[in-house]
C-alpha cells in the first residue's frame, strides 16, 4: 500500500487506535481531523463509480473518508469495503462494551439494593440508614434515581403490608371478642337451664320420697292387716277343730259352723 511505502502508519490504524483526548469520536470526525494533515504524495483521484458504490454502502460516512479509505487500499473496491466493514464493527463493539459496562454497574447496584431489601429494615431509623447508604453508593444520577425508586417502593410495600397485617389482626381480634361474648351468653343460658333442671329434679325427688313414704306406710298397714287375718284364721281353725271333736255324729257338721 502507498502508506506503507512512504513509511507512515496506515489510515485505518490511526482510526482504530483510540485517542486519549476523544475516545468516542465518530468515524467521520476522525476523518475531518486527519484530512488537515499535509500529504506527502498526490495519488491519482479515485474512480467516481467506486466512490458512489462506497457511498451507497456507507451512507452515514463522510465522502472524504471514503476517498481516503479507497486510496489506502490501492483503489481496490473490494478491499476497501472489507476494511470499512471491519472498522464499523470495531467501532460499534467499542460503544456496546462501554454501554454494557455502565449498565452492568447500574444493574449490579440495583441487584444489591434488591437483595438488601429482601430483608427489609425493622424501623424508621434503619430505613433512613439504608436510604443514605444507597445514595452514597450510587455512581450516577440515574443510578441514584433507580436506587431511590427501589427503596421507596419497598418502603411503601412494607407500610402497606404492615397496615394490612394490623387490619387483619384487628379484624381477627373483633371476631374473637364476638365469639367470646357468644360463648359467655350461651354459658349464662346453660347455667340457668341447669339450675332450672336441678330445681325440677329436686321437686321430683321430693315427690318420689313422699310417694315412697306413703307406700311404706301402706305396706305396714297391709302387713298389720295380714297378721290380723292370720290370727283370725288360726282362731277359726281351732274353733272348727273343737267343733268337730264335740260333734256326736261323725261326718255330720253343725249347720251353723260349716
Q: Tell me the backbone φ, ψ of residue 120, rounded to 5 degrees.
A: -65, 155
At residue 40, the pLDDT reads 43
Alpha carbon distance 77, 18 (integer Å): 26
- Please enumerate, as own/partner, the contacts of 60-63 that have beta carbons within 8 Å and a separation of 24 or more: 60/28, 61/27, 61/28, 62/27, 62/28, 62/31, 62/32
- Please state, as a whole number, how many other Cβ atoms lie within 10 Å of the Cβ of residue 240: 13
pLDDT in tens, the chain (258 residues): 333 333 344 444 444 444 434 444 444 444 343 444 444 444 444 467 877 877 777 777 777 777 877 777 777 778 777 777 777 666 655 554 445 544 554 444 444 555 455 667 777 888 888 888 888 888 888 888 888 888 888 888 888 888 899 999 999 999 999 999 999 999 999 999 999 999 999 888 988 898 999 999 999 999 999 999 999 999 898 888 888 887 755 555 555 554
**If you ran DSSP here, which 8-state letter would residue 240 be given?**
H
Question: Is residue 147 a contact partner of residue 105, using CB atoms and an 8 Å limit?
Answer: no
Return the C-alpha torsion angle 253, 255, 256, 258, nearest 10.
Answer: 60
* Helix residue ranges, H only, the chain: 2-5, 11-16, 27-34, 48-57, 63-72, 77-117, 124-137, 141-246
One DSSP character per residue, 167-230 reads HHHHHHHHHHHHHHHHHHHHHHHHHHHHHHHHHHHHHHHHHHHHHHHHHHHHHHHHHHHHHHHH
Whether pTM exceeds 0.85: no
C-alpha cell at 69: 479509505
Q: Which of 242, 247, 232, 241 is nearest to 255 (CA)?
A: 247
Question: Is residue 69 a contact partner of residue 79, using CB atoms and an 8 Å limit?
Answer: no
Q: Which of 137, 114, 136, 117 is nearest to 126 (CA)?
A: 117
Amino acid at each position: 500500500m502507498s502508506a506503507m511505502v512512504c513509511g507512515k502508519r496506515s489510515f485505518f490504524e490511526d482510526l482504530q487506535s483510540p485517542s486519549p483526548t476523544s475516545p468516542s469520536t465518530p468515524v467521520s470526525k476522525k476523518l475531518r481531523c486527519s484530512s488537515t494533515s499535509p500529504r506527502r504524495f498526490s495519488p491519482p483521484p479515485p474512480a467516481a463509480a467506486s466512490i458512489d458504490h462506497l457511498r451507497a454502502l456507507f451512507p452515514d460516512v463522510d465522502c472524504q473518508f471514503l476517498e481516503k479509505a479507497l486510496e489506502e487500499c490501492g483503489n481496490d473496491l473490494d478491499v476497501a469495503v472489507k476494511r470499512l466493514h471491519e472498522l464499523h464493527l470495531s467501532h460499534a463493539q467499542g460503544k456496546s462494551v462501554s454501554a454494557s459496562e455502565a449498565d452492568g454497574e447500574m444493574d449490579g447496584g440495583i441487584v444489591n439494593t434488591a437483595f438488601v431489601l429482601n430483608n427489609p429494615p425493622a424501623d424508621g431509623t434503619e430505613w433512613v440508614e439504608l436510604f443514605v447508604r444507597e445514595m452514597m453508593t450510587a455512581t450516577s444520577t440515574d443510578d441514584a434515581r433507580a436506587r431511590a425508586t427501589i427503596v421507596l417502593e419497598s418502603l411503601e410495600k412494607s407500610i402497606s403490608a404492615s397496615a394490612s397485617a394490623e387490619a387483619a389482626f384487628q379484624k381477627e381480634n373483633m371476631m374473637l371478642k364476638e365469639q367470646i361474648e357468644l360463648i359467655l351468653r350461651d354459658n349464662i343460658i346453660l347455667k340457668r337451664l341447669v339450675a332450672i333442671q336441678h330445681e325440677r329434679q329436686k321437686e321430683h325427688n321430693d315427690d318420689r320420697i313422699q310417694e315412697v313414704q306413703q307406700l311404706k306406710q301402706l305396706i305396714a298397714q297391709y302387713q298389720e292387716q295380714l297378721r290380723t287375718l292370720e290370727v283370725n284364721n288360726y282362731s277359726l281353725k281351732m274353733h272348727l277343730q273343737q267343733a268337730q271333736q264335740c260333734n256326736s255324729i261323725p261326718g255330720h257338721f253343725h249347720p251353723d259352723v260349716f
